[in-house]
Amino acid sequence: MLQLHELFNKIDSEFIVFSQTICPYCDLAERTLKNNNLTFEVVNLDYEGDLRSKIVKETGHRTVPMIFDLRGRNPVFVGGSDNLLDYL
């Protein structure tokens, strides 16, 4: 079973977006990152329910998208799409 920190270490992007297939807020987050010329990886939680539970347990954030900034030494939980707009 993959742990979050293991997943973060495998990603070679500035951000990771945990998303779902039909999610306008996820689309907004992806557009925002693209418009700011930031690289990101999308993980679809439709197929990773166990991973979603781990993120909720760690962050308390229950809705998608769930966005992490991977640019620093340690990943930073940004929040959802509204949080991303404020964060950038």
Mean pLDDT to the nearest integer, 69-78: 93
Strand partners, 41: 16
Mean pLDDT to the nearest integer, 10-28: 94
Q: Which amino acid is at 52?
A: R
**What's the pLDDT tens digit per position in 22-54?**
999 999 999 999 999 999 999 999 988 788 999
* pLDDT (0 to 100) of residue 66: 97
Residue 13 near residue 34 (C-beta atoms within 8 A)? no
Task: Please report the domains of the chain, with CATH numbers, ordered by start residue.
Answer: 15-87 (3.40.30.10)
Q: What is the pTM of this model?
A: 0.92
Average pLDDT, the chain: 92
Write a three-state SS string for the chain: CCCHHHHHHHCCCCEEEEECCCCHHHHHHHHHHHHCCCCEEEEEHHHCHHHHHHHHHHHCCCCCCEEEECCCCCCEEEECHHHHHHHC
